[in-house]
Structure 1
Amino acid sequence: MKYRTMIGGTGKAHFAKIAAIGLVLALSGCLGLGGGKPPPTLFTLTADKTLPAGTVLSGNSAQALIVLDPETDQNLSNTRIAVQVDQSNVAYLAKAAWVERPARLFGTLMAETIRAGGKRIVFVGDDGINTSRNRLGGRLTAFGYDAREQAVIVRFDAVLNGAAGAVSTRRFEAKVPGVAAKPELIAPALNRAANQVAVEVADWVG
């Protein structure tokens, strides 16, 4: 991987090049390109807010909210933890993976967080319910680690469809800085950022 970073004069450009090379070397033991043996560690997302056992919510199917799995770019369409190395290079964190695709995990997390508010009957996917026009979907554009900032980033462009053809959109983003490129640190930070976005989405949906 090569970096072209120019900062001021020749001396600063040389320093930036050295720093970029150092970043690649530091990450080389943490990144992989897929294949090989299964990773020793599998991660998932856990909702901070959940509906207590025994809680009963009632209503009709037309009023229910259906939470769809977000769409993603190809780099998030697998179970690996994506690492943005620079503007055009994406790698994957070695020795770690999600138990399911990030879109499915995040969609389920949002559904549980909204359900925990006790205001809506919520289904994940169609779940056998297809009469409701209230649907929450969108695109998960970032869900991984940014090596340049040493931060995890979750970015979700939400699309809420309602009755009578009403459509609302909003971008949500959460960032946790100061995270080293280690699976045992990145995964919990992503869980925290995902929960922050899910709570904001739940407040927006109502």
Structure 2
Amino acid sequence: MIRGTSGVALLAAALLLGGCVNIGAGGKPPAQLLSLTTKAVETSNLPRIAGVGQPIVIAVPSAPAAIMSNRVAVQDGPVSIAYVKDAVWVEPPVRLFQRLLSETVAAKTGKVVIDPRQFAVTPGIRLTGQIKSFGMDARSGRAVIIYDAVISRDGGKTVEARRFEASEPVAVVEAVPVGIALNAAANRIAEEVAAWVG
């Protein structure tokens, strides 16, 4: 039997609702919505300062249509995709993942990380990418995330590309266990990305 991912520090992966959300016309609201929470901890409350060309911008990644929805995809065959019953993200996972990356990179590097939707500045580092997988692989019984990242430094003078992959075992394919496993996998990738960004 596959052992489930530890829930330590991941309780916030499921946000309980009081029945105020309705998914779809006439549908019942989910018992909980899933989110992603960073494990990285800010070590200082001191302000961060970045000059022109120094901030890091992390863009919302692109993704296939199956991942762009608020549901958790299950790859149950070479060409077939289903969804985990009652598993609904609080917002599209591409935005959750971008926020997790931003928080983790900021905490791990101590650098200024800005959201491209909020600031019109010239970044020193720009991180973009595509999520290839973000859900359950029913064949392996694991939650899988694959992120193809592209980083441009020095205002685009140098460009690097790298693939990041992480997976976690899931004992029972249900909303909360899958959400916890995906949160753990996302944090592993975010920490690797932070080390790469430097």
Structure number with larger C-alpha Rg: 1
1:1-206 equivalent positions in 2, closer than 5 A? 35=24, 36-52=27-43, 54-163=45-154, 164-206=156-198
> Given residue 72 of structure 1, which amino acid in structure 2 is its aligned partner?
A
> Given residue 138 of structure 2, which amino acid in structure 1 is its aligned partner?
A
CA distance in 2, matches of 1:113, 1:69: 15
CA distance in 1, matches of 2:152, 2:59: 11
CA distance in 2, matches of 1:55, 1:154: 33
The DSSP-based 3-state class of the residue aligned with 2:53 is helix
> Given residue 204 of structure 1, which amino acid in structure 2 is its aligned partner?
W
Q: Could you list the per-position Cα deviations for residues 161-187 of structure 1 after superposition, in whole angstroms to 9, with x for gaps in the alignment? A: 112431100000001124321112111
CA distance in 2, matches of 1:165, 1:184: 43
Is residue 61–residue 129 contact of structure 1 (8 Å, CA) maintained in 2? no
Is residue 70–residue 140 contact of structure 1 (8 Å, CA) maintained in 2? yes
Deviates more, 1:87-96 or 1:186-195: 87-96
Q: Could you list the per-position Cα deviations for residues 97-150 of structure 1 after superposition, in whole angstroms to 9, with x for gaps in the alignment? A: 010111000000001000002431101234213322521010011110111111
How high is the sequence identity, in percent, across the aligned residues? 35
CA distance in 2, matches of 1:198, 1:41: 24
More helix by share: 1
* Consecutive aligned runs of 4 or more in structure 1 exceeding 6 Å deviation: none
Is residue 87–residue 174 contact of structure 2 (8 Å, CA) maintained in 1? no
Is residue 125–residue 152 contact of structure 2 (8 Å, CA) maintained in 1? yes
TM-score (norm 1): 0.79
* Structure 1: gaps (5+ residues): 1-33
Is residue 170–residue 178 contact of structure 2 (8 Å, CA) maintained in 1? no
Counting matched residue pairs gives 173
The DSSP-based 3-state class of the residue aligned with 2:135 is strand
TM-score (norm 2): 0.82
How far apart are residue 154 of structure 1 and its match?
A: 0.8
CA distance in 2, matches of 1:184, 1:69: 24
* Structure 2: gaps (5+ residues): 1-22
> Given residue 160 of structure 1, which amino acid in structure 2 is its aligned partner?
I
CA distance in 2, matches of 1:63, 1:174: 29
> Given residue 82 of structure 1, which amino acid in structure 2 is its aligned partner?
A
